[in-house]
Chain A
């Protein structure tokens, strides 16, 4: 029992990292130009959004949406939006310092929605653990990516590769590393 929980947690952080390996929310990771330190805190807030959303979405799926599968996407996006707004209100001073008003745009991303859809097929305990794992994995992806980008100095990058291409190559190396797990 404990072993499967650890396995689900580690899979979310490493082997099955949503942003790097499954491309869910990779646009958020690539488009996040804050420092590694700020990315780490933002990642923690996104993890909070994921866990709270799972607590709401899983019962919603199990007890209400089973007979109305066509509403799944709409219902999950509504829940994620509301939870994000609440988290932003609760941690207002923190998000203001980190992002200004951009936190909602950052937290309503592909990783959160993808996690909700995949969690719908798991048991509740497993879904909760996996949301913690995926959240920490997302935080790790954002932090590592931000600190790697700080180190890649633009002067040494060929002109055509500056900006997006070199970011994608950094992500490629990160995904090669994660293949080891």
Chain B
């Protein structure tokens, strides 16, 4: 069982599937992608460490609920910190920072932290998942922002001003770009396996 879970978390496509909400919603703009990806990374690392430290203190029956509450507590802290120090990015993300509390990725990660042998191992899972999501989100956001609003991280590119594809910043564009990026990742992963 544990081995299966580990192989699932090593698969970057699985991380994308579980973290699809932030990966799709916060990628209209490179700045919001970096903000959201960074927030998810911090939330995953902190909640995994806290879950690991508390794992022997919590009864098995209430584990699911307490893990969700630990993540939500961390999310509230991150929300307040972002509202205080990064208000422009926080306003851009809207309610999606709060949603990270109930995204499947965080609960799957705290499951892993429960089974980890040491704090370092629990943090390692969180860092690898968070970094994967962050990198993919920045790539997707760069493509969507370039094609959809003709800019990169808010800097307008003059030669693209007349070639904006408005669907790219809306929902279908998000799905299509993420699908292509995921397909490329899956192809690269397979080639690595073959070698």
Q: Which residues of A contact B (CB under 8 A)?
A: 20-28, 30-31, 70-74, 77-78, 80-81, 85, 104-105, 108-110, 112-114, 117-118, 158-169, 171-172, 175-176, 179
CB of A163, distance to nearest CB on chain B (Å): 6
Interface membership of chain B positions 99-117, coded 1 if the CB is closer than 8 angstroms to chain A and 0 otherwise? 1011111010000000000
A74 to B73, CA, bound (A): 7
Complex contact B95–A27 (CB within 8 A): no
Q: Which residues of B contact A26 (CB under 8 A)?
A: 20-21, 24
Q: Which residues of B contact A (CB under 8 A)?
A: 13, 16-21, 24-25, 64-65, 68-69, 72-73, 75-76, 79-80, 95, 98-99, 101-105, 107, 170-172, 174-176, 178-180, 182-184, 186-187, 190
Complex contact A104–B99 (CB within 8 A): no
Complex contact A25–B21 (CB within 8 A): yes
Complex contact A163–B69 (CB within 8 A): no
Complex contact A171–B175 (CB within 8 A): yes
Shortest beta-carbon contacts, A-B, top 4: A172-B175, A168-B179, A160-B187, A175-B171
The tally of CB-CB contacts under 8 A between chains A and B is: 129
Q: 10 additional contacts, CB 8 Å, given A113-B101, A164-B186?
A: A23-B25, A27-B103, A72-B98, A77-B102, A78-B69, A85-B65, A110-B103, A117-B98, A169-B179, A171-B175
Q: Which residues of A contact B102 (CB under 8 A)?
A: 77, 80, 108-110, 112-113
Would you give 23 A-B contacts (Cβ < 8 Å), ordered by A? A22-B25, A22-B171, A23-B171, A24-B99, A26-B24, A27-B19, A70-B76, A71-B76, A72-B98, A77-B101, A81-B69, A105-B104, A110-B102, A117-B98, A118-B95, A160-B183, A161-B186, A164-B17, A164-B179, A164-B186, A168-B179, A168-B182, A175-B171
Q: Which of B21, B69, B79 has the most CB of A within 10 A?
A: B21
A85 to B98, CA, bound (A): 21
Complex contact A160–B186 (CB within 8 A): yes
A25 to B24, CA, bound (A): 11
Complex contact B179–A77 (CB within 8 A): no
A160 to B79, CA, bound (A): 37
Q: Which of B75, B95, B104 contacts A31 (CB 8 A)?
A: B104
Complex contact B72–A73 (CB within 8 A): yes
Q: Which residues of A contact B19 (CB under 8 A)?
A: 27
Q: Which of A25, A72, A81 contacts B65 (CB 8 A)?
A: A81
